Amino acid sequence: IGGKMVMRGQLERLLEASELPNIDLQVLPLGSEENSGLDGLFRLLKLKDGTNVGLSEAPLVSRVLCNPKETTALDMRYGIIRAQALTPRNSLALIEKVLGET
């Protein structure tokens, strides 16, 4: 949405963010046969006291998750998504390739 200039700006911003010490950028290609991220958006917060809080989002529905079984499931899903994604180095190479094509 927004055309090539918007896409270019987004890709450039991702490359900038990847230089920060607290960010590991990984791309999960849309063409990947395995994609555990298709169930919808989620966030997982790990609090200082050791508890986890999750937020599961879908169109018209958002849910806060505090139950340890549910937050553990989100944590496991996050790990699976990272395993399915490209490595940070390969992710940056893909972003740079797509940036060169836009």
- What average pLDDT does range 75-86 have in this prediction? 93
**54 and 23, same structural domain?**
no
**80 and 95, same structural domain?**
no
**Do the beta carbons of residue 26 and residue 86 sit within 8 Å?**
yes
**75 and 54, same structural domain?**
yes
Flag whether pLDDT at 72 surpasses 80.
yes
Where residue 67 falls among pLDDT bands split at 50, 70, 90? very high
Flag whether pLDDT at 86 surpasses 90.
yes
**42 and 11, same structural domain?**
no
**79 and 58, same structural domain?**
yes
**Do the beta carbons of residue 90 and residue 24 sit within 8 Å?**
no
**54 and 44, same structural domain?**
yes
Residues spanned by the domain of 79: 32-85
| Domain count for the chain | 2
**44 and 79, same structural domain?**
yes
**79 and 38, same structural domain?**
yes
Question: What's the pLDDT at 78?
Answer: 92
pTM for this model (two decimals):
0.78
**Do the beta carbons of residue 96 and residue 15 sit within 8 Å?**
yes
**48 and 21, same structural domain?**
no
Closest alpha carbon to 50 in 75, 79, 78, 80: 75
With a pLDDT cut of 70, the percent of the chain lying above it is 100
